[in-house]
Amino acid sequence: MKTSQSFGVNFTIKKQKANKDGRTNVYACIIVNKEKCFIALKHQVEVESWDYGRGSVKVKALDAKETNAYLEEVKFTITTYYQQLQIAGKEISPQLLKSHFLGEAIEETYNLSKLMDYHHEVASAALTWSTLKHYAVTRRYLEKFLKEKRKTSDIHIHEIDYKFIIDFETYLRNHKPADHFQPLNNNGVMKHLIRLRKMTTLAFKLQWINKDPFKSYKFRYKKVETAFLSTAELALIQNHEFASDSLIMIRDLFVYACYTGLSFVDLMNLTERNVVNGEDGGKWLKLFRQKSNEATNIPLLAPALALMEKYKDNPRANYLGTVFPTITNQKVNMHLKEVAKIIGIKKKLTFGVARHTFATTITLANNVPIETVSKMMGHTKIATTQIYARVLLKKISEDMSMLKEKFEQQPKRAAGRKGVPKNHLKRVSQWDQ
């Protein structure tokens, strides 16, 4: 492992700790990256014979040759331990070198690559493949950052401090991908830092590091309004006659998500076992969301039922045992761009837009309570659903129109005291007395 460190060993005495004979212990001072620790050596010298500038006994002193040779041996021993630890790729600190010199039990040290390997090992059992893929991207960014900015392939975990975090954030903001992908936006940068924090938090809990490097760091998110389709836009997509069978299928999958709120991965995993008779006797979807493993129960609306009927005899779907033919997310996104272009919709169509359309246009705008929407979307918190809770101008107009009617129907009351009940006037006069 390639690292850049400053290292040194020098010697000093503490005059104030001299005994009655004017003798005191020599201390070895170990310095690594400006961190220091002292070792009290089992060797005493005359205070008057010590050369503070050279860090050794004065040449003319009686025991100079013997003492200075001993100090050189101590320095050589500590330096040898330092070199061995460097070759082994260990996290080197003054305290670690002291422990080696004194023959104490040595605690294992860790570097960033080992932390990322261990995090992947423990997270693989709990996280989905798609989430683990994002951690892999963060790892690649960290490796590029270390190579380009730190001129190294790895670092010790204890070197991840506030400055490291800020430098990594700056690197992410300024990074210009060589391929066709767009540079990271603010929230994209924050997501990479959150993944790094989860790894350092794991290290802190494992006691691989003794402090949280993110303690003073504040995440800064920019509120982003995710697009959704209006009723008119959704109708345009539903009713358009596409020439390509591929575009028709992609359109149908997208529309189905608009009427069910399913994510792309949950839609692709949908089988006939997920379609059951619900509490009302109608057809429902019952499944566990892959992302959160939360139970999701969705009564199927007529447009969704019609699409399922359309694909019930599809050979590819029947072969795979799924409700719809499967396709990759990459191809879906590519074809959705084409769908938007053909219809003339300026919004970027994604399955995230479809989920927002279900939450906003299909349900909340039609007075479905937010608690019900939250359950159908498989959210663990109402706060998550509130992100989707857009108040449409049409809904404001309808609600205010009803309020206007109530005010217009109320009889006009005369201004002043004429409108005050007599018994009220009587109570007022009693208090005035």
- Give phi and psi for 8, each to the nearest 5: -165, 155
Please write the tens of the pLDDT for every residue from 365-407.
888 888 888 888 888 777 767 766 655 555 666 667 777 777 7
Look at residue 305 and give its three-state secondary structure.
helix
Distances (CA, A) of 285 to 39, 146, 297, 425: 70, 47, 6, 64
Mean pLDDT across 339-367: 89
What's the pLDDT at 425? 44
Question: What proportion of the chain, given as a percentage, has pLDDT over 70?
Answer: 87
- Residue 431, pLDDT above cutoff 70: no
Model confidence at 108: pLDDT above 80: no
The percent of residues above 90 in pLDDT, for the chain, comes to 47
- Tell me which of 105-114, 219-228, 253-262 is least confident: 105-114
Mean pLDDT of the region 160-183: 86
> What is the tens place of the pLDDT at every residue in 5-36?
689 999 999 988 888 888 999 999 999 988 89
Give 161-180 as a 3 state SS string.
Answer: CHHHHHHHHHHHHHCCCCCC
- Specify the pLDDT at position 428: 41
Q: How far apart are CA 288 and CA 295, in angstroms?
A: 4
Coil, strand, or helix at residue 270?
Answer: coil
Return contacts of 54-63, CB within 8 angstroms, 24+ apart: 55/10, 55/11, 55/12, 56/11
Does the pTM surpass 0.75? The reply is no
Dihedral over Cα of 235, 239, 240, 244: its sign: positive
Which range among 79-83, 222-226, 249-253 shows the weakest confidence by mean pLDDT?
222-226
Q: Compute the distance between CA of residue 145 and CA of residue 4 in angstroms, rounded to an integer.
A: 15
Identify the pLDDT of residue 25.
92
Confidence check: pLDDT of 411 > 70: no
pLDDT digits (tens, 9 = 90+) for 204-230: 998 888 889 999 999 988 876 678 898
Q: Inform me whether the pLDDT recorded for 267 exceeds 80.
A: yes
- CATH number for the region 231-393 comes to 1.10.443.10
Identify the band that residue 72 occupies on the pLDDT scale cut at 50, 70 and 90: very high
